[in-house]
Amino acid sequence: MIHETATDASVCISEALAEMQVAPLADGLAVICSSRSPDKLTPNEDAAALIPVTDRSGVMVVADGVGGYRAGEQASRSIIDALKTTVLHDSHVANDSGDASTLRPAILNAIESANDAVLGFAMRAATTLAVVEVQKHTVRPYHVGDSMILVVGQRGKIKLQTISHSPVGFAVESGLLDEKEALHHEERHLVSNVLGMSDMRIEIGSTLQLAPRDTIVIASDGLFDNLHLDEIVECIRKGPLDEGVRRLAADALERMNRPRHRQPSKPDDMTIIAYRRQPCAMSRKTRAQSRKPKRAGTPATTLGSDPAA
C-alpha cells in the first residue's frame, strides 16, 4: 500500500492513484483504488481483492481492519485469504453452471472460517467486510459492518444500498437521522457488527439483475465518511470507470486533508472497488491496463497492507 508519509493533499492523491489497478472480471471491468489515511504513519489496514472464478463469474471484496495497525492488518488479510482459497479451490464453485447460488456456500464458509481465525488471534482484532458475487449479470451482496455496497444506474438511480451495522446506520435507516446529519454525528465511528465477534452476523442481500451500464461501488468508510451519497453517485454513474474512481479518491482525500465548514472530513484508510458490466467508454490507459497479461499463479487481483500480496 502507501509506505511514504505524506501530509500534502496533492501528494496523497498521487499516491492513492498509484495504487489503482484495473482488471476484467465477469463480463465487465473492475477498478480497485486504495490509500492510507493521511494522518498516520502506519500502513493501510484495508485489504481488497478481485477473485475471478470463470469468464462470467467472480467475487469482489473490501475489508477494513479494526484494532490498530498489526491487529487490523491481520484481520482484513485473513478474510481476503479465506475467500481466495475457498472460492478458487472449492469444486462446487469452480464451474459456470449459471446458478447464482453456487458461490454462496463458498463465501459463507470463508467468512465463518475467517471469523474463527480472528477470534483466535492473541491480540484483539476485527474487520468489516463487503463482498459482491457476480454471475452472468446477476449480483448478490454480503456484508458485515460499515463498509458499504452501492449499485447505481446510469441515470443516478440507486438500485441497491447496504445498511451500515452501526448505531448511526440504523438511525438513518429508521428515519431518525438523515444522511447529511449522519456524516457529522459524533458516534459515526462506532460499529456494532464485525468479524472478530462471537455473535458476528452476515447480512445477505437478494440477487439483483444488472442492467448494461449499472455500476457497483464497494468501499470502506474512508469513502462514505467523506463524501455525500449524491456526490458519489454523480461521480461514478457514467463516463470511463477508471476516471470516476480517480475523481472519488481525489475528492475524498481533499476532504480528509482540507476540512471545510459544513463538509464532512474524517481522515481514514480508504479502499474503493468499482465494477461495470459492459464498460463502453474506457480510457486508452484502462484498455491497455486491462489487456496486460496476468502473471502465472496470480489468478486474483489483491490490494492489502502486505506489499507482497
The mean pLDDT of 55-67, rounded to a whole number, is: 90
pLDDT at 49: 95
Q: What is the pLDDT of residues 139-185, one digit of tens each?
A: 999 999 989 999 999 999 999 999 887 655 545 556 665 566 555 54
The DSSP bridge pattern shows strands 46-54 and 301-303 to be: antiparallel
The pLDDT mean for the chain works out to 79
Q: What is the pLDDT of residue 13?
A: 47
- The pLDDT value recorded for residue 204 is 95
Q: How many C-beta atoms lie closer than 10 Å to residue 309's C-beta?
A: 15
Task: State whether residue 225 is helix, strand or coil.
Answer: coil
Number of H helices, E strands in the chain: 9, 13
> What pLDDT score was predicted for residue 98?
44
* Residue indicated by cell numbers 446477476: 138
Task: Provide the pLDDT for residue 308.
Answer: 37
169 vs 59: CA distance, rounded Å: 25
Tens digit of each residue's pLDDT (9 = 90 or more) over 69-92: 678 888 999 999 999 999 887 644
Q: How far is residue 113's CA from residue 129's CA, in Å, rounded to a whole number?
A: 14
C-beta atoms surrounding 173 within 10 Å: 12
% pLDDT > 70, the chain: 72
- Number of other residues whose CB lies within 10 A of the CB of residue 98: 11
The helix-helix angle for 241-257 and 229-236 (nearest 10°) equals 150
pLDDT confidence of 298, banded at 50, 70, 90? very low
CA-nearest of 281, 296, 190 to 238 is 281
- DSSP per-residue codes, 96-133: --S-GGGSHHHHHHHHHHHHHHHHT-SS--EEEEEEEE
Three-state secondary-structure class, residue 26: coil
Residue in 167, 166, 148, 168 with CA at minimum distance from that of residue 158: 148
Cα separation, 74 vs 54, in Å, equals 28
Domains and CATH numbers, the chain: 9-294 (3.60.40.10)
Count of CB atoms situated within 10 Å of the CB of 4: 9
pTM of the model: 0.80
**Residue 169 pLDDT:** 55
φ, ψ of residue 67 to 5 degrees: the values are 115, 10
pLDDT at position 284 is 46
Output the pLDDT for position 192: 79
Summarised one tens digit per residue, pLDDT across range 5-51 is 233 333 344 455 556 899 999 989 999 999 999 888 888 999 999 99
Between residues 133 and 89, which one has the greater pLDDT?
133
**Beta-strand pair 21-25/215-219:** unpaired
Q: What angle in degrees, to the nearest 10, is found between the helix axes of 284-291 and 241-257? A: 110
Q: What is the pLDDT of residues 223-266, one digit of tens each?
A: 988 999 999 999 999 999 999 999 999 999 999 998 887 788 88
pLDDT digits (tens, 9 = 90+) for 187-227: 556 677 989 999 999 999 999 999 989 999 999 989 988 99
Neighbours of 63 (CB within 10 A): 31
Q: Residue 293 — pLDDT band, cuts 50, 70, 90?
A: very low
